[in-house]
Structure 1
């Protein structure tokens, strides 16, 4: 196996060119690396964008004009064949933070003039040396908090700037043993099978123990937060989430892959569910909502040890009739 070296090299060169380009010249870089019919999927309010010029004008140029001196700080870099199309396509994944000086408004959020982080995870499909599809998911509410705003009521878990893997092995620039990636993908699939049932007959904690390490770390998005150990994860997220929703659809992913001890997936959306109990401190609406999610995992032994999660909560709540972003744009920073 090549270890996806050619595909990784495309993305490495793309990032190098994009990250050092002058603000306003992003379209030139994207036009060089994106296919002409490129599809870009991003969190609310960006949604689906087509073509390199539109992606540059709508997302990258405004972001880089706002977070000046933008620096990419990667924690995971990997590539793999996509299980969802019988391993026929190759995707390269980058996860970490985009860091800059928050100097001008972005999405109506007032700047601070201070250092700021935008959590991100990006899946890029590479074909014949070109990027043909992108899923770029990012935690806008986390940036809101850094700007002194409170987009959500107090969350069930902890709000943190999220670190990379405990093992510091996430940057896989060199090929990894294929059997390691196969084992990671098997662990992820076993977890998905359990997660999609919600009726295993076991206690939630015992169900989680089938596929998770006892000292698991779940790095959730702003509005839910991070939690540690099976017992606290069940108490602070999984239990409340299951109690809050019904009619969960089957899981649908556009990409699911793994390399080495890491793997992940994304959907558009991953699933839908109907809130019938309070969620994130807000009342139930009884309206079905979409969950656009990226999950990145680290495996230890035969179980999952860490999980970084990106959920488009702005999109979910907009479907419920609550415009979090619009509301925050009208609130002065204290």
Structure 2
């Protein structure tokens, strides 16, 4: 299995190298060279699902390369593993970090500030193995923090955050780029504590306090790197007050839909769902009115384990989609309120 993990990593690294250096038509060529003909792509709102590589190149990557000049990829985590939730003969690779460039052209209705900007991202990539030792990318889930770009451009689409809003760094250990083989024992240890944590979270009616429950699988000085609109928070005490407690109080009904992929490599691991959760915000959430309807939430979680417990968690939530289901199109509202639009009317 280790050979397949390394082959999958190399395929994704080659794809990124060609994609990041591409311009215009070369973006599609990168996909044609490294992706399968049935390539399926998932992305956060407004991109959602795209079932062909031409659409991915034209509607997602080309506009980004146009809007953000001299784009570069700054990875903080790179890992691969066998999906615990599927027994097919594929490997999943994760890349997490930022895309950075000069934000000089309009993008998704956001007016450019003419300064450097960071697009926080995390991508799950599925690699399928072919005869004669070749491999192709057949599926991706690419989450990007669009509201984070809006904030950098001077527009905050959300009410005040409960956590801290900032450009988020990678792991404190600087050990997230797992280009080489990792210990299977360490990988299994990481996946085990992630599964334990998921089980703890699923038992919301236990007799423990929230902080006591979190301490079962988290270090006291944990860091939760959340999405724009919620922000980051540090230590179990502040995480309980600034996000986890708020989240639990906001929803009266919570349905867990499972994950599409979950794995670990070395001290890192993670998962994504499509959607992970179906929630009823009867207590309101992030400034939204309370509702008795249920809405889907798409989430990516990436973890770093330190010893016997989890230490850091990078979280990507498709908040634009969560708002959109409730009748608020944040991107359309921003375009309407933008100075460029107002000058036209």
The root-mean-square deviation of aligned C-alpha atoms, in Å, is 1.2
Superposition deviation, residue 117 in structure 1? 0.4
Counterpart check, 1:13 vs 2:14: yes
For 2:335 and 2:121, how far apart are their aligned partners in 1? Answer: 21
1:324 equivalenced with 2:327 (yes/no):
no
Q: Does 1:304 align with 2:305?
A: no
Following TM superposition, the consecutive aligned residue runs of length 4 or more in structure 1 with deviations greater than 4 angstroms are: none
Query: Residue 250 of structure 1 corresponds to which residue in structure 2?
Result: 256
* Distance in 2 of aligned mates of 1:332 and 1:72: 29
The aligned counterpart of 2:159 is 153
CA distance in 2, matches of 1:33, 1:97: 22
Residue deviations 1:203-231, cap 9 Å, x none?
A: 00000000111000000000000000000
**What's the CA shift for 1:113?**
1.0
Name the residue aligned to 2:119: 118
2:238 to 218, 226, 232: 232
TM-score (norm: length of structure 2): 0.95
Partner of 2:150: 144
Match of 1:108 in 2: 109
Q: Which runs of 5+ in 1 are unaligned?
A: none
Q: CA deviation at 1:282?
A: 2.5
Secondary structure of 1:237's counterpart equals helix
- The size of the alignment, in residue pairs, is 334
Measured in 1, the distance between the counterparts of 2:204 and 2:259 equals: 19
CA contact (8 A) 1:125 1:134 kept: yes
TM-score (norm 1): 0.98
Deviations 1:272-330 (A, max 9, x none): 11001121122212221111010000001111100000000000011111111111112
> Which residue does the alignment assign to 2:64?
63
User: Who is 2:286 aligned against?
Assistant: 280
Indicate the SS of the match to 1:28: helix
Other structure's SS at 1:63 match = helix
- Rate the CA distance shift 1:87–1:31 in 2: closer, same or farther, 3 A: closer
- Deviating more after overlay: 274-283 vs 313-322: 274-283
Query: Residue 95 of structure 1 corresponds to which residue in structure 2?
Result: 96
Deviations 1:88-118 (A, max 9, x none): 4310000000000011111111111100000
Q: Does 1:74 align with 2:75?
A: yes
**TM-aligned CA deviation for residue 197 of structure 1:** 2.2
Return closer, same or farther for 1:244/1:84 CA change in 2, 3 Å cut-off.
Answer: same
Residues 328, 94 of structure 1: alpha-carbon distance in 2 compared, 3 angstrom cutoff: same
Residue of structure 2 equivalent to 1:202: 208
Native 8 Å contact 1:147 1:333 kept in 2: no
1:260 correspondence with 2:266:
yes
Deviation track 1:99-149 (CA, whole Å, cap 9, x = no partner) reads 000111111111111000000000100012100110000100000000110
Runs (5+) with no aligned partner, structure 2:
130-134, 341-345
Q: Which moved more, 1:69-78 or 1:15-24?
A: 15-24
Say if 2:8 is the partner of 1:2. no
Compute the displacement of 1:186 (Å).
0.3
In structure 2, the residue corresponding to 1:238 is in which secondary structure? helix
Q: What residue number does 2:140 align with?
A: 134
CA separation of 1:333 and 1:190: change in aligned 2, threshold 3 A: farther
